[in-house]
Amino acid sequence: MGDNDIRYLKCLAKQYPTIAETATEIINLQSILSLPKGTEHFITDIHGEYDQFQHITKNASGAIKQKIEEEFGNTISLKEKRNLATLIYYPKEKLKQVLETEKYIEDWYSVNLYRLVCICKRTSSKYSRSKVRKAMPVEFAYIIEELLTGRQDILDQEDYYFEIIHSVIRTGRAGELTIALCDLIRHLIVDHLHVVGDIFDRGPYPHLVMDDLMKHHSVDIQWGNHDVSWMGAAAGNPALICTVLRISARYGNLSSIEDGYGINLIPLVRFAMEQYENDPCERFHVNFREDSYDVRDIAIDEKIHKAVTIMQLKLEGQIIKRNPDFRMDDRLLLDKINPEKWTVEINGIEYPLLDTNFPTVDWKNPYALSAEEQVVMDRLIFAFRNSEKLQKHVKFLYTKGNMYTVYNGNLLYHGCVPLNEDGSFKKVSVFGEEYAGKQLYDVLEDYARKGYYATDPEEKQKGLDILWYLWLNKNSPVYGKERMTTFERQFVADKNTYKEPKNPYYKLIENEEVADRILEEFGLSGNESHIINGHIPVLVKEGQSPMHCNGKVLIIDGGFSKAYQEKTGIAGYTLIYNSYGLSLAEHEPFESIEKAIQEGNDVVSHKTLVQRVSKRKRVADTDIGKRLKEEIKDLEALLKAYREGIIEERL
């Protein structure tokens, strides 16, 4: 045994100072390895749809209903099962309804507390008692543990068990215990949540989604292109601040910036009203939703939409000129406008402009902000950088997020791995060096982190530019399209110019050899490994499937965002990976939380078994299991050192 090994074991001995404590921990960890693996829940492309996100995570894509069915079968009615499920999803709201309508509230509490304990027992059965105890609310930990471990079917414990419940009711704590049990069930039903990108944009409440994610007990995030645009905006990238504002104005969601993040937009409003006072801004309409938009704001939001679009095009031009390595000269279109003919040249073809009012553009220097625009931009940069809530959310994205994640044999990323037409990994130049495959992901993530955290001005600027690059460059893994045609969609009538061809990945991913090559690139192999990504909505209405290569590749963006549901025909996909295998859930649109509580309405979900494992997965088969085995190995070395006298016990 070397000196370094002994030093390490001495450090470990501070935590386990005796043979007894070391042996006990080995027994504990070894036992945990034999438990069933925890359930993983995969969700993607949330796009600010808080109500649907909240409901899908609360019902765990139908897993709670399944537990209720397994536990009670035909012993209770369908209505009782629905009411029990709704209680578990929304305990506070459901209790309020029950207290207003139920005559015999003590009887109701007796029945439902008993049922919740039964579901909690079933849900917690695959975890160690220590893990369950840690998940319990402190104020009810003793009571819940006694209820979970007590045996009401054994004569000696029957009175004790039911007296606990009756005492809780008599002391007026039944409501709080009901909520605590429901929270514990939801906590235990999903061991780990994966969010495969695009939390932001389109929907009105991304800030509420982020609040919930920050409260989740175990979560990871794979950044989507809409996420990195907000990350860049929070870091102070002016082009991405304009992008965030443009999309928010387009979808009538500026309130999420003002009210959700406390960012002052008054200077922008004044500027837009002054510069475009007599401009109808017909090309900059608002795709608002009636349930969350005040139509009196339309005229203002259309002017804001145009104002920030013009600023965005200017600022993007500055980035492109600063980074010839990005190879995006074809996106420099402001200088291709002929202000005498009001036409624009795109790829050698001249098109008439649909909008000819550009009061802030200096045609001799079209990519420079006007003095008024610069003042507004400086204030916006300050506001985004100093929004306490936005900074908190973005730091969480950096802490819990990555460009990709390898987890329990699955590869998770939002968009694609850039490929050539022949299926080989595309070599991409990043600041003078070429990268492909996993290396490309790694270097882009490194720069994305520098854009937020770097203190060196040059490195920070590179990072800020890469955050913008990730948003829309054709070689960005989180975007994966040839171009983003923002200019054409706003100013050109010919829809042929709107086309955004996808990277060959989306065609070649049907080829199992290509999928295997990608998995191997990220250190995975075998029939039980999968690629899981979102980004491109699956058009179920047109017969598209989320499953490719016999289920090895799963593209699970099915239209979680209401803006896409008319195209896709459904309201999103989610995945559940438990000890028995991997299943895909297809969801229909969610009506409302109010209807879920009042009428027991749930999201209608259809499950498809993607893969059933031949042998039930245990903790030993997971990434956590690998770490536990390493810990056991170290503890066994410490135990040996104690017994051989190399290290002395501290009795």
Say which amino acid occupies 437: G
Average pLDDT in the 575-584 region? 91
Average pLDDT in the 158-185 region? 90
Tell me, what's the pLDDT at 604?
A: 64
Tell me, what's the pLDDT at 165?
A: 86
Instruction: Tell me the pTM.
Output: 0.93
Tell me, what's the pLDDT at 410?
A: 96
Tell me, what's the pLDDT at 382?
A: 98
Tell me, what's the pLDDT at 196?
A: 96
- Report the 10 Å Cβ neighbour count for 139: 12
Closest CA to 585 of 564, 602, 598: 602
What tokens does 521 get?
A: 């690139």
Q: Are 252 and 292 in contact (CB under 8 A)?
A: yes
Tell me, what's the pLDDT at 161?
A: 78
Average pLDDT in the 346-353 region? 96
Tokens 């854009």 identify what position?
A: 451
Closest CA to 440 of 397, 399, 473, 396: 473
What are the tens digits of pLDDT across the range 454-502? 999 999 999 999 999 999 999 999 999 999 999 999 999 999 999 999 9
Q: Are 203 and 46 in contact (CB under 8 A)?
A: yes
Say which amino acid occupies 621: D
b/e 236-266 (16+ beta carbons within 10 angstroms → b): bbbbbbbbbbbbbbbbbbbbbbeebbebebe
Cross-sheet strand order for the sheet of 530-533: 404-407, 410-413, 530-533, 553-555, 547-548
Measured between its terminal Cα atoms, the distance across the chain in Å is 24
Q: CA–CA distance from 121 to each of 80, 87, 96, 143, 189 (Å)?
A: 19, 17, 25, 14, 11
Query: Using N-to-C axis directions, what is the helix angle for 225-235 and 371-385, rounded to 10°?
Result: 100
Whether 550 has a pLDDT exceeding 90, the answer reads no
* pLDDT more than 90, % of the chain: 76
Q: Rounded to whole angstroms, how far apart are CA atoms 411 and 377?
A: 39
Q: Phi and psi for 254 in degrees, rounded to 5?
A: -60, -20
Pairing of strands 428-430, 401-402: unpaired
